[in-house]
Amino acid sequence: MKKVGVAILGLGVVGGGVYSILTEKSEFFKKTQNLDITVESVMEKNVDRALSLGVKRENIASSIEDVISNPNVDIVVEVIGGIEPSRTFVLKSLMSGKTVVTSNKELFAKFWPELEEMAKKMNAGLFFEASCVGGVPIIRTLQDGMQANVIESIKGIINGTTNYILTKMTEEGWSYEDALKEAQRLGYAEFNPTADVEGFDATYKLSILSSLAFNTKVSFENIYREGITGIDKDDIAYGKAMGYTLKLLGIGKNTPNGIDVRVHPTFIRNDNPLASVNDSFNAVHLVGDSVGEIMLYGRGAGALPTGSAIVSDIVFASKHDDYYYTPFKNSTGGNKETKFVSDYKVKYYMRLSVADAAGVLSKITGVFAKLSISLKEVKQISAEEGKAEIIIITHPCYESAAKKTLEKLAALDEVYEIKGSIRIEE
């Protein structure tokens, strides 16, 4: 039976999950995988935490040098998060010829080329299933289950915190602030929630996933990003009444004009399978030219779900020593030869507070007409004391034209406020 020694850098939530899966299921891995996997070393500043999980004192390393000089360690698991010291630890591990398994999406989105170059040079493995969508095996699906396909699109709910917040705003009518507070209380959102609510976390994941899906480096800087902090619960309710559900979507499309990649709040039809993905759950919908549509659904975070992805990488790495790397030019800042779409076509939902007077509607629709935007639906939802609220749904129009329209509308005396503007994906 093959013996595999693992080191875990960081025994936080995810590191603790990895430790408990590896130790509690040791016999199971012997039986089902023919692998004798042992945790040989852990690096954790909080020694009491390590001891309370059952780590032996002699297995607690005091430096990365301790870990990489340990001949019993074959695989180093990095679950510290953030850029430093993770980047240095991962590079040092690879430099010493150890295979690395990481859950670190920010590190991967920003330093993938550098890490991969080192892994290649040292003939070491570099695995990152847990970096995207937690326990959902999306990376292995893209790398090992879709080879027959040109992937046309990837769309997903790839951030659980924002999905929890939007679900509460949709189902309970909570304000953004109340939903965020509850997400923080439950431990989904951090004290500083920026990475999740402003869409950075989803952008890092989409950068990794769309690179694999479209076989070219998609830098996170190539991705348009908009978070959920400006979302008003009234727009969610009006959209719902019109047959739409609001989600923060990561969208990647491989179009004849180039790659279109964005993260933004999006209305989708209530019967879209992604509309029923609620709370902190994640899901990814793929379209391949051979297989058609597939969708993966599950937990995008948490000790055991993310631990599941890491352990699957450990098992995979233990059974494959002919490591393979990305087949595309994995350069920092993206592949200069790849074309990206900057002006895509999309439908818009807009809610305006306007003067309730003769001729106002024709003035407003005139702005859309001048920019060649055709309207699908115009609805007045309230009128009191000379003020009216209207909702406009457009037919697909260029993003640049929609942006210009919003600017021109805001400049009209008759428009008091643009209360909401949300893209619709059908």
Q: Which of 70, 102, 161, 312 binds ligand HSE (CB under 6 A)?
A: 161
109 near ligand HSE (CB under 6 A):
no
**Three-class DSSP category at 223:** coil
- What is the DSSP-derived secondary structure letter of residue 374? P
92: annotated active-site residue: no
Cβ atoms 34, 103 nearer than 8 A: no
130 near ligand HSE (CB under 6 A):
no
- What is the DSSP-derived secondary structure letter of residue 304? H
Helix (H) or strand (E) holding 298: strand 292-299
From the CB of 356, what's the least distance to ligand HSE, in Å?
A: 42
From the CB of 294, what's the least distance to ligand HSE, in Å?
A: 21
Shorter beta-carbon distance to ligand HSE: residue 196 or 389: 196
CA torsion through residues 37, 40, 44, 48, sign: positive
201 near ligand HSE (CB under 6 A):
yes
Cβ atoms 120, 112 nearer than 8 A: no
Segment 383 to 402, residues that bind ligand HSE, using CB under 6 A: none
Q: Which of 15, 135, 160, 307 binds ligand HSE (CB under 6 A)?
A: 160
The DSSP code sequence of 124-191 is: --EE-GGGSSTTS-HHHHHHHS-TT--EEEEEEE--HHHHHHHHHHHHT---HHHHHHHHHHTTSS-S
266 near ligand HSE (CB under 6 A):
no
The one catalytic residue among 205, 217, 247, 253:
205
Residues 11-50: x where in contact with ligand HSE by CB under 6 A, - otherwise, as a string: ----------------------------------------
Q: Which residues pair with 392 in a beta bridge?
A: 350, 378
159 near ligand HSE (CB under 6 A):
yes
Shorter beta-carbon distance to ligand HSE: residue 208 or 341: 208
301 near ligand HSE (CB under 6 A):
yes
Reduce the secondary structure of 172-198 to three states and give it as a string: CCCCHHHHHHHHHHCCCCCCCCHHHHC
Cβ atoms 280, 161 nearer than 8 A: yes
Q: Which of 74, 129, 196, 399 binds ligand HSE (CB under 6 A)?
A: 196
The residues that are catalytic are: 205
Binding site for ligand HSE (CB under 6 A): 159-161, 188, 196, 201, 300-301
